């Protein structure tokens, strides 16, 4: 027994050393949050790894309840003046009551993202299982299960291929004839049928009938096909069972599709889609699918490497490492967590797919928390914070496609609710691109969802310097978002300076319906600034630009209150004891850029507000606080937030972030936060190691992106910067900062620059 344990331990250590970027377990998953995720943007799978009964729960990202619907309440705008009057008169309850009656989305709720189905494999009695390992290798995006049963070594590998559009499951034994199993498809959707197609394919077809809280009938049709791509031994399909006997090598492919075409059209044919996808595999085998998958995945994943040091705990199972992180020293888990965020983004957001929803792509519940939809008062945006900075700009594309849809549906919401031009999105959306205020006036009427999303369009330009994208895709949508606020902003009758304010709105989910929440003003200023800059770069719209500049200067500024805090509202009414998870008024610190060391009073006030809110919160809240503390240049506090997040209370055994329950935003927020600790570029300067914690005295990162079109690599040792590499992608001047040292130099497109920090002169020097 002891020897076996020793061998097992040795094997784990060796495995870890050979593949340090993997999640590892010595037990099968007993529940969904222990299963391991794979995905190709559109299809997602969760593999449990039970030797005797394998289970892969799967999703397709367009399977939702409901049907095309516009959520509009026509004529709502006539209540807007009265709402404002009540709020200015301090009658919040009356205003919320009126709004709940006359100013909300129809229906009041939005739709739910749905699970698709389950693939299960029942094996002939395997007897005692030894040497069990289950893993997810982030270097190849392949999840494996290996074990020995009756002297036979079994191996299963699952991946989701973006180039080929399918999930691939390979099963092997190291002895002939020892692979015997029965595979079945199933679905939690009651209206479904199963049938055999050709000699080698099982089909699951149905329609969503489940209804969300909207009570709108569901109409989406779906179909999945499980095809045996390669096998030896015998294959027989018996009714619902796909039976393999006497084999040692089998490759199954799973294809799934729905009738979704666009948010207003669900007339596509899932059967045709699957037929086409599977036809595309005709000339392929496991080896070629594997190669194409790995090549595609690594073309994105390998762009960034991060080394924060190895650790003893690498030999432990991943869930044990999470449990030990706070008390121990496991810098490698932090880099694994960082890369896991990148892995998840590549797996759930690829061109052509839906954007990452609250659970990315992975959901096994018919009534998932918050519908597993798109909450846009922090969660959807957080999902995309790492996209540009960690060199995954392509993964941002599904969000841009959704923003384009929202600018069309949000045009009607602007008209119907505000009698305004442009477009507006409130705090949630779904597959049908609802933009009207949902749930309740006390948090649903929040007008800056679309404006916040526009920051992502700007970032894509800022990081790439791609003027074509700015002109053709970003600017028209940003401009229309700004046009909404030009109509919507209102002069505050209580203000002597004639401040323009936003309202009715709210500071996300805190304090109810108000006039003038701080966050709105920060977001609108940010949107206007980017529109002004974009119009200058593109050399267009001078009058519009001038008008924006004028209005921008009149928007109510940030206020510092009685506790030295940054005020969450226009009135100095913050509760210093509140530990509310949203810290919305710090938007200007992060992800905005108007509160920096160059605005010392606001910078100190933001810090005060964050201290008052404390170090707790839901998963995403902690992740946001990593970013905040990084922007406050306090590496140790940022690290404290990371270690508060990397606990079993906030991180599930499979490293999924948990609110609770599972919500993926915190994964992406943490990846962004770790990046912000190492490098920032939101002020026009590439700021090197702005918040390096003492826990990471030495390390190396390569391939991060900075605004201005740069790729940045860094090395540090004994808590000090040693070398920097900068690749200039757009030939812009480069400005670096390390501590209080700055260095500026001209660059040429495509050139690599090496910079050292000279410890004697304490200066940054460009190497010739």
- Which one, 349 or 375, has the nearer CB to ligand FUC? 375
- Which one, 339 or 658, has the nearer CB to ligand FUC? 658
- Which one, 22 or 618, has the nearer CB to ligand FUC? 618
H-run or E-run covering 717: strand 710-717
| Structure tokens belonging to residue 764 | 């940054």
Of the candidates 451, 485, 479, 489, the one whose C-alpha atom is nearest the C-alpha of residue 543 is 479
Write down the least CB distance from residue 378 to ligand FUC, Å: 7
Query: From its phi and psi, is residue 662 left (phi > 0), alpha (psi between -120 and 50) or beta?
Result: beta
Write down the least CB distance from residue 348 to ligand FUC, Å: 16
- Which one, 625 or 659, has the nearer CB to ligand FUC? 659
Cα distances from 331 to residues 322, 695, 697, in angstroms, run 12, 7, 10
Q: How far apart are CA 392 and CA 386, in angstroms?
A: 8
Of the candidates 640, 642, 637, 581, the one whose C-alpha atom is nearest the C-alpha of residue 607 is 637
Residue 599 is classified by DSSP as: S
Write down the least CB distance from residue 428 to ligand FUC, Å: 8
DSSP for 60-121? ETT-BSS-S-----TTGGGGHHHHHHHHHTT-HHHHHHHHHHHSS-SSSS---B---EEEEE
| Chain center to CA of 449 | 16
Q: How far apart are CA 364 and CA 187, in angstroms?
A: 10
Write down the least CB distance from residue 576 to ligand FUC, Å: 21
- Which one, 69 or 618, has the nearer CB to ligand FUC? 618
Using alpha carbons only, what angle is made at residue 280 by residues 292 and 159, rounded to the nearest 5 degrees? 40
- Which one, 54 or 509, has the nearer CB to ligand FUC? 509
Contact indicator for 696, 309 with CB cutoff of 8 Å:
yes
According to DSSP, the β-strands at 428-429 and 221-231 are unpaired
- Which one, 433 or 581, has the nearer CB to ligand FUC? 581
Orientation of helix 600-613 relative to helix 619-631, angle to 10°: 150
| Structure tokens belonging to residue 75 | 């004529």
- Which one, 62 or 375, has the nearer CB to ligand FUC? 375
Write down the least CB distance from residue 581 to ligand FUC, Å: 6
- Which one, 334 or 623, has the nearer CB to ligand FUC? 623
Write down the least CB distance from residue 609 to ligand FUC, Å: 18
Contact indicator for 274, 257 with CB cutoff of 8 Å:
yes
Contact indicator for 138, 21 with CB cutoff of 8 Å:
yes
Write down the least CB distance from residue 506 to ligand FUC, Å: 11
Q: How far apart are CA 736 and CA 126, in angstroms?
A: 61
b/e per residue, 580-603, with b = 16+ CB within 10 A?
bbbbbbbbbbbbbbbbbeeeeebb
Residue 316 is classified by DSSP as: S
Write down the least CB distance from residue 443 to ligand FUC, Å: 7
- Which one, 349 or 680, has the nearer CB to ligand FUC? 349
Write down the least CB distance from residue 663 to ligand FUC, Å: 6
- Which one, 161 or 359, has the nearer CB to ligand FUC? 359
Applying CB under 6 A, which residues contact ligand FUC? 358, 370, 375, 379, 509, 581-582, 618, 620, 659, 663
Residue 265 is classified by DSSP as: B
Helical H segments across 555-660, by residue range:
600-613, 619-631, 635-645
- Which one, 375 or 409, has the nearer CB to ligand FUC? 375
Write down the least CB distance from residue 383 to ligand FUC, Å: 11
Write down the least CB distance from residue 319 to ligand FUC, Å: 23
Write down the least CB distance from residue 255 to ligand FUC, Å: 31
């Amino acid at each position: 027994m002891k020897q076996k344990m020793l061998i097992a331990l040795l094997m784990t250590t060796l495995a870890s050393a050979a593949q340090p970027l993997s999640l590892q377990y010595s037990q099968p998953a007993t529940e969904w949050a222990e299963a391991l995720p794979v995905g190709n943007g559109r299809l997602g799978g969760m593999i449990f790894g039970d030797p005797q009964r394998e289970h892969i729960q799967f999703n397709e990202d367009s399977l939702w309840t409901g049907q095309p619907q516009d959520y509009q309440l026509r004529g709502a705008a006539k209540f807007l003046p009265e709402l404002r009057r009540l709020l200015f008169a301090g009658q919040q309850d009356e205003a919320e009551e009126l709004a709940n009656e006359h100013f909300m989305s129809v229906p009041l709720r939005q739709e739910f993202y749905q699970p698709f189905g389950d693939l299960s494999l029942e094996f002939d009695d395997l007897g005692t299982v030894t040497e069990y390992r289950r893993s997810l290798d982030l270097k190849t995006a392949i999840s494996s299960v290996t074990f020995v049963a009756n002297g036979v070594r079994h191996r299963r590998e699952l991946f989701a291929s973006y180039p080929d559009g399918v999930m691939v499951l390979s099963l092997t034994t190291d002895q002939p004839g020892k692979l015997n199993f029965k595979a079945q498809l199933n679905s939690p959707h009651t209206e479904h049928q199963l049938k055999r197609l050709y000699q080698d394919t099982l089909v699951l077809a149905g329609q969503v009938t489940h209804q969300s809280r909207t009570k709108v009938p569901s109409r989406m049709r779906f179909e999945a096909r499980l095809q045996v791509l390669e096998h030896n031994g015998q294959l027989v399909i018996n009714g619902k069972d796909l039976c393999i006997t006497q084999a040692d090598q089998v490759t199954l492919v799973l294809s799934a599709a729905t009738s979704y075409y666009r948010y207003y059209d669900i007339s596509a044919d899932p059967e045709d889609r699957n037929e086409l996808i599977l036809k595309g595999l005709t000339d392929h085998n496991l080896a070629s699918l594997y190669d194409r998958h790995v090549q595609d995945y690594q073309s994105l994943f390998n762009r960034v490497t991060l080394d924060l040091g190895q650790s003893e705990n690498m030999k432990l199972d991943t869930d044990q490492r999470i449990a030990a992180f706070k008390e121990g020293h496991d810098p490698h888990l932090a880099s694994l967590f960082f890369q896991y965020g990148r892995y998840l983004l590549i797996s759930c957001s690829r061109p052509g797919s839906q954007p990452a929803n609250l659970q990315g792509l992975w959901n096994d519940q018919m009534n998932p928390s918050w519908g597993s939809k798109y909450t846009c008062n922090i969660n959807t945006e957080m999902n995309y914070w790492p996209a540009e900075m960690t060199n995954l700009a392509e993964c941002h594309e599904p969000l841009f496609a959704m923003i384009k849809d929202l600018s069309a549906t949000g045009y009607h919401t602007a008209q119907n609710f505000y009698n305004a031009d442009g477009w507006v999105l409130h705090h949630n959306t779904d597959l049908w691109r609802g933009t009207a205020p949902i749930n309740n006036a006390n948090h649903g009427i929040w007008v800056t969802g679309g404006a916040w999303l526009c920051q992502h369009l700007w970032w894509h330009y800022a990081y790439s310097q791609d003027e074509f994208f700015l002109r053709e895709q970003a600017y028209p949508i940003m401009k229309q978002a700004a046009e909404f606020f030009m109509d919507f902003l209102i002069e505050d009758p209580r203000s002597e300076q004639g401040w323009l304010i936003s309202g009715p709105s709210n500071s996300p989910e805190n304090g109810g319906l108000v006039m003038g929440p701080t966050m709105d003003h920060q977001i609108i200023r940010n949107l206007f600034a980017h529109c002004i800059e974009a119009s200058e770069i593109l050399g267009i719209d001078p009058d519009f630009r001038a008008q924006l500049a004028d209005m921008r200067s009149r928007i109510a500024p940030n206020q510092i209150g009685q506790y030295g805090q940054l005020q969450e509202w226009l009135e100095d009414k913050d509760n210093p004891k509140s530990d509310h998870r949203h810290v919305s008024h710090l938007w200007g610190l992060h992800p905005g850029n108007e509160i920096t060391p160059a605005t010392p009073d606001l910078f100190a006030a933001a810090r005060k507000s964050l201290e008052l809110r404390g170090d707790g919160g839901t998963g995403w809240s902690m992740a946001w606080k990593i970013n905040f503390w990084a922007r406050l240049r306090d590496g140790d506090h940022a690290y404290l937030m990371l270690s508060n997040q990397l606990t079993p209370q906030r991180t599930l055994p499979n490293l999924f972030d948990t609110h609770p329950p599972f919500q993926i935003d915190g994964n992406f927020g943490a990846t962004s936060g770790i990046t912000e600790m190492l490098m920032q570029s939101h002020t026009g300067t590439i700021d090197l190691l702005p918040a390096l914690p003492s826990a990471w005295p030495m390390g190396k990162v390569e391939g991060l992106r900075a605004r201005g079109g740069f790729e940045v690599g860094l090395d540090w040792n004994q808590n000090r910067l040693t070398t920097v590499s900068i690749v200039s992608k757009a030939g812009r001047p480069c400005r670096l900062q390390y501590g209080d040292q700055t260095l500026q130099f001209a660059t040429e497109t495509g050139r690599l620059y090496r910079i050292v920090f000279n410890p004697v002169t304490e200066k940054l020097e460009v190497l010739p």
